[in-house]
Amino acid sequence: MNIEELREYCISKKGVEESFPFDAETLVFKVMGKAFLLTGLNEKPLEFNVKCDPEKAIELREHYSCVKPGFHMNKKHWNTVVLDGSAGTKLLHEWITDSYNLVVSGLTKELKKKFAAMH
């Protein structure tokens, strides 16, 4: 997966916006204004941070060498995934979708209502 494929997958999800809130190199994907994935455009190899259930985060770190505690994030809730070729696209999509779903499930009632009304 490269940066273009990562971007396409993220923006294909309902209610997603992309922005550069920190600097010109850190791309952030948000659903209803809440971040679910951050990536550095100039990272070699490419890596991204995703939200994760705390117990699953530990499990993934133990089973996959490409999964680390979230860099510059709350390490209990975020993982950094290094795209070193050891995890396939299907697995990467699963982790991104899990992050997205975690953020959606944590939205306020008002935001959930707006989200549900979107196409």
Q: What are the pLDDT digits (tens) for 74-93?
A: 899 999 999 999 999 999 99
- Residue percentage of the chain with pLDDT more than 70: 100
115, containing H or E segment: helix 109-117
pLDDT at residue 71, rounded to an integer: 85
pTM for the full predicted model: 0.94
- Number of domains composing the chain: 1
Q: What are the pLDDT digits (tens) for 1-31?
A: 999 999 999 999 999 999 999 999 999 999 9
Cα(first)–Cα(last) distance of the chain, in Å? 27
The range of the structural domain enclosing residue 89 comes to 3-117
Distance CA 105, CA 119 (A): 18
Q: What are the pLDDT digits (tens) for 42-84?
A: 889 999 999 999 999 999 999 999 999 998 888 999 999 999 9
- CATH number, residue 38: 3.90.1150.30
